[in-house]
Structure 1
Amino acid sequence: MAAPSGGAPSGRTGRPPLTEERRAEIRLEIARAAVRLFVTQGVTATTGEQIGQAVGVSARTVWRYFPNKESCVRPLFSVGITVVAACLRQWHPGQPLEALFERELASEESLLTGPDRAATAALVRLTRTEPALRAVWLQTYDEAEPAFARALAERAGLPADDLRPAIQAAMFNAALRAAVEHHAWRATADGSTGPAEVQGELTAALRSALAVVREGLG
């Protein structure tokens, strides 16, 4: 059927679709809001409506990005995976593992240690008592391992499914998780530790973990 004479042209109307970058920003905003609410009032007492309200979106929007409230925190857990994999690809023979990550560890804006380091530490502490959050935390590391294995295989010129980089990735992944958890378990939860001190402690823990695992990955 022809469009009415003088009518508006047919086609999609309304706001243009969000870019992938903007979607990632919204996911991170939701994650930060969820953490703040989880820490201040507990996971059980927090609702999707409250998380959305803290970000300025509807609960429906929250559920469009995440299947449940616990999974809202995933972006804070997984934000550094791409950075770590890229670093591993650039690892030169004979280069100390700690030196490989030195720039990332030293930067205040690093995806590994800032600017959400305090929120992440608080979140990791919650995984001790919140099984659903613990599941998200462990699943994130489980999903990171193949990315690290691919990077290590590429670095060594080995097939992506070779066993050696898979084992190396498992060792490296476990070291990172142990370091972050060690830092989180020991960090003060009352806010008395300043941001610079928090970053210094996390950086030291990561450096120690990388040094310990270096020989197995050399």
Structure 2
Amino acid sequence: MDKPSSVRSGRPPLTERRKAETRLEIAREAVRLFAEKGVSATTAEEIAAAAGISLRTLWRYTASKENCVLPLLTTGIDAMAHSLRTWRTEQGVDGLLDDMQRDSGRLISHLSAQLDLVRLTRTEPSLRTVWTQAHADAEPVFAEVLADRLGTSADDLSTRLHAAMINVALRVAVEHHAFHETPTTAEAVFATVREALTPAVRCLEEALPRST
């Protein structure tokens, strides 16, 4: 399974942006069809047709119909990794979360599909597997980012614990909002994410050296 993409500075090349948008369009259409018909009753051919591409092109972007949805999951994980990398500790917890919210325009634009997908994980075991694996893949990404900030190894116990706390807080916040909360506006979702992430980020803030 693809891992969350590494954080890059600057705007990605046009070709990469087009590929990313194609992956997201495939993911959105897959979620729509899965919600309407169920995963088992949806074919790869139907997903390709809905996304306006050939089946051959679809298989260039994904290894399975279930994995079609992965870009909707990794977008938020990538946003979190980027915010952790660029965070100036003197900004405090609110500064980190404010930056994450400001930089999440791409995430917000796909919010409805993302929440629909997370809701489907309760009834579709194969999508639950993709969701769980996405966060399993995210944890070492967070650990690598934090290791750079902490001056430690990504395998360091404390670093891994901080990465795990952030990862779990992010996952549980999104699940909680998808399963229980209304409205599903961006502001409401970020309020839930902020509430869940604050304790984990405060612990990290205490461990990080102050920016100079």
The two structures share one fold, judged by TM-score above 0.5: yes
Compute the RMSD of aligned alpha carbons: 2.0
Is 1:69 matched up with 2:65?
Answer: yes
8 Å contact 2:45–2:55 — kept in the other structure?
yes
| Higher helix content, 1 or 2 | 2
Deviation digits for residues 143-172 of structure 1, max 9, x if unmatched?
A: 111111111111112233322211100011
Q: Indicate which of 27, 45, 57 corresponds to 1:31.
A: 27
Cα distance, 1:104–1:64 mapped onto 2, change above 3 Å: same
Are positions 1:142 and 2:136 aligned together? Answer: yes
Amino acid at match of 2:190: T
How far apart in 1 are the matches of 2:124 and 2:166? 25
Matched, 1:210 2:197: yes
Question: Take 1:20 and 1:182, find their aligned partners in 2: how far apart are those partners?
Answer: 33
- Match of residue 210 from structure 2: none
Are the counterparts in 2 of residues 90 and 155 from structure 1 also a CA contact under 8 Å? no
Q: Distance in 2 between matches of 1:19 and 1:95?
A: 35
Match of 1:180 in 2: 174
Q: Which runs of 5+ in 2 are unaligned?
A: 1-13, 206-212
Matched letter for residue 81 of structure 2: A
Task: Determine which of 78, 97, 101 is the counterpart of 1:82.
Answer: 78
**Aligned partners of 1:30, 1:47: CA distance in 2, in Å?**
13
Kindly tell me: are residues 107 and 161 of structure 1, through their superposed partners in 2, closer, same or farther at Cα, counting changes over 3 Å? closer
% identical equivalent positions: 49
CA distance in 1, matches of 2:95, 2:196: 13
The answer on whether the counterparts of 1:91 and 1:155 sit within 8 Å (CA) in structure 2 is no
Structure 1: which 5+ residue stretches go unaligned?
1-17
Superposed CA offset, 1:60-100 (max 9, x none): 22122212111100000001333221211233345432321
Partner of residue 45 from structure 1, selected from 41, 44, 47: 41
TM-score (norm. length: structure 2): 0.82
Between the aligned partners of 2:31 and 2:76, the Cα distance in structure 1 is 17
Q: How does 1:71-150 map to 2 (within 5 A)?
A: 71-93=67-89, 95-106=91-102, 109-111=105-107, 114-150=108-144
Q: How does 1:134-173 map to 2 (within 5 A)?
A: 134-173=128-167
User: Of the two structures, which has the highest relative contact order with CA contacts closer than 8 Å and spacing of 6 or more?
Assistant: 2
Q: How far does residue 186 in structure 1 lie from its aligned partner after superposition?
A: 1.4
SS in 2 for 1:82: helix
The higher radius of gyration belongs to 1
Residue 51 of structure 2 aligns with an amino acid whose one-letter code is V
What is the TM-score when the length of structure 1 is the normalising length?
0.80
